[in-house]
Amino acid sequence: MSRSTLPTSTRRPTHHHRPSRAPIPTKRLLVAAGILVFLIALRFATADAAPIPIAAARDAITLAISVIIESLPFVFLGIGLSIAVQLWVPTRVILRILPKNAFGRRVVLSFLGVLLPVCECGNLPLARGLMSRGLTVSDSVTFLLAAPILNPVTIITTYQAFGWSDGILVSRIAGGFVIANLVGWMISRHPNPTNLLTPDFAASCRHDQAALHGRRSRGREAVELFSRETTSMLPALFIGAAIAGTIQAAASREFLVALGGNPVWSVIALMALAFVISICSNVDAFFALSLGSTFSPGALIAFLVFGPMIDIKMLAMMRTTFTTRALVTLTSVVALGALVLGLGVNFFA
């Protein structure tokens, strides 16, 4: 598939030659190398600079950087997988192996995370890649919501943290699966699911599906996809991390912890905490464990189901793809699902 959004007038002359034999413009490359050297030099030069004197501001930055450094590898991994899916897996293969029946297709896609164990920040580029390969919005959202929970890394870390106690592991897996498929089903009932996408992303999907393979080298395609996905994802990740770090530094966790014992409020409090701290689904179980005896099991389950699907960082990133209205609805449904699950466990389990 080529980025063939080029106007037809320019496409003809530009694609007869493989670009790979072209010489590299030395001057521009020197500029790029110069920038890289400058960045590295800047880092070494400022290593011992005076820290910011205001503790709260310094902590907010430290927390934001920790979110970025923790998430960035997963974003790269997700973009890498997304590029691989878009360039090396033909659409017909994807569409052939999936069941024709919409319900069955969403069920299968819920478990795609088993093969592609990326956490939520890596899933979004992948879901975008799947949509631009022609998968429907409802199918992709089902994958996007289910995969961070239904993947081996998350399941293993949750098991390590909790074992079988309180049914936390089982409720997390079942809850994630049910909520993801519920949301997918709701979107499939939408008269025009494409309206849930930002106009720009929808347009880029149309381009991609209309595009033909083989016009340009795969390497060049991959690099353009990398530029495009990082330009979409990283600003959102950085802004989301900054917001999460600021809130975390400004607001005391004390207040939330004080609500811990109450069967209703503890569920809401931990969902709020999951929303704010935006930690990665692959590791959030360890964090939940540290809250273990303060909070009710239902609250922990709500934390472990809601957090991977929706948090500040994810909303910032999802906004590149979905409209605000779609995200508000999505967040409400997922929050409601997690709340019902948490309360159900507290009152009936």
- Residue list 233-292, contact with another protein (CB under 8 A): 233-235, 238-239, 242, 244-245, 248, 252, 254, 257-258, 260, 277-280, 283-284, 286-287, 289-292
Show Cβ contacts of residue 183 under 8 Å, excluding neighbours closer than 6 positions: 141, 142, 145, 330, 333, 334, 337
Q: Which is nearer to another protein, 95 or 203 (CB)?
A: 203
| Residue entry with tokens 């020197």 | 30
Residues between 95 and 114 that touch another protein (CB under 8 A) = none
Closer residue to another protein (CB): 234 or 264: 234
- Is 327 near another protein (CB under 8 A)? no
Pairwise CA distance, residues 346 & 349, whole Å: 6
Helices (H) and strands (E) in the chain, counts: 18, 0
Rule CB under 8 A: say whether 68 interacts with another protein. Answer: yes
43, burial (CB in 10 Å: exposed 0-12, middle 13-18, buried 19+): exposed
176, 145 Cβ separation under 8 angstroms: yes
C-beta of 136 vs 248, nearer to another protein? 248
Binding residues for another protein, rule CB under 8 A, total 104
Classify residue 214 as left (phi > 0), alpha (psi -120 to 50) or beta: left
Nearest residue (CB) to another protein, 44 versus 164: 44
Which lies closer to another protein via its Cβ, residue 61 or residue 178? 61
Residues whose CB is less than 8 angstroms from the CB of residue 42 and which lie 6 or more positions away in sequence, other chains included: none
At its nearest, how many Å lie between another protein and the CB of residue 77?
Answer: 6
323 binds another protein (CB under 8 A): yes
Please give the angle made by the CA atoms of 161, 314 and 40, to the nearest 5 degrees.
95
- DSSP character string of 108-167: HHHTHHHHS---HHHHHHHHHHHHHTT--HHHHHHHHHHTTTSSHHHHHHHHHHHTTGGG
Instruction: Select the residue interacting with another protein from 98, 182, 185, 230 (CB under 8 A).
Output: 230
* Of 253, 312, 251, 304, the residue nearest 282 (C-alpha): 304
Query: Measured from the CB of residue 280, what is the shortest distance to another protein in angstroms?
Result: 7
* Binding-site member from 82, 181, 188, 320 for another protein (CB under 8 A): 320
Q: Confirm or reject binding of residue 166 to another protein (CB under 8 A).
A: no
Q: Please list every residue from 29 through 48 that binds another protein, using CB under 8 A.
A: 29, 32, 35-36, 39-40, 42-44, 46-48
| Residue number, 40 or 115, with CB nearest to another protein | 40
Min. distance of Cβ 146 from another protein in angstroms?
A: 22
